[in-house]
Amino acid sequence: LSLRPLRHLGRLSYAYYLFNAIALWSLVRIASAWGFGQGSSVNDANQMLRATLLMMLALATTLAVSELAHRYIEIPSIMFGRWAQRAMLQRFADPSSGTASR
């Protein structure tokens, strides 16, 4: 068993954290639209199946959105931050540029 998938999930954890609340809110909205928990027993097999499907859908959707956010927002932002940091350090640490005295 490789730990590579777990490392990838670790990289996605911040984006997952951000989007999990949205997915859970959507889950509640969908469940109420489907009438989950209304008019039948909680132990009803249909209710349990619906709840399981909604939780799996929320998990899959959150993971997919987290992957996209990580790939197209988080990584480019980190790269930009590193570039900006290097540019600022070069500008203010280089005595020959004449800007260090400002």
Rounded CA separation 95/92 (Å): 8
Task: Confirm whether pTM is higher than 0.85.
Answer: no
Give Cβ neighbours of residue 7 (< 8 Å, ≥ 6 apart). none
Whether residue 15 contacts residue 78, with contact meaning beta carbons closer than 8 Å, is answered with no
The pLDDT of residue 23 is: 84
The pLDDT of residue 101 is: 46
Dihedral of the alpha carbons of 29, 33, 35, 36, in degrees to the nearest 10:
-30
Q: Where do the H-state alpha helices sit in 1-102?
A: 4-33, 45-69, 75-93
Residues of the chain with confidence (pLDDT) below 70: 1, 36-43, 94-102
Q: Could you give the percent of the chain with pLDDT greater than 90?
A: 38
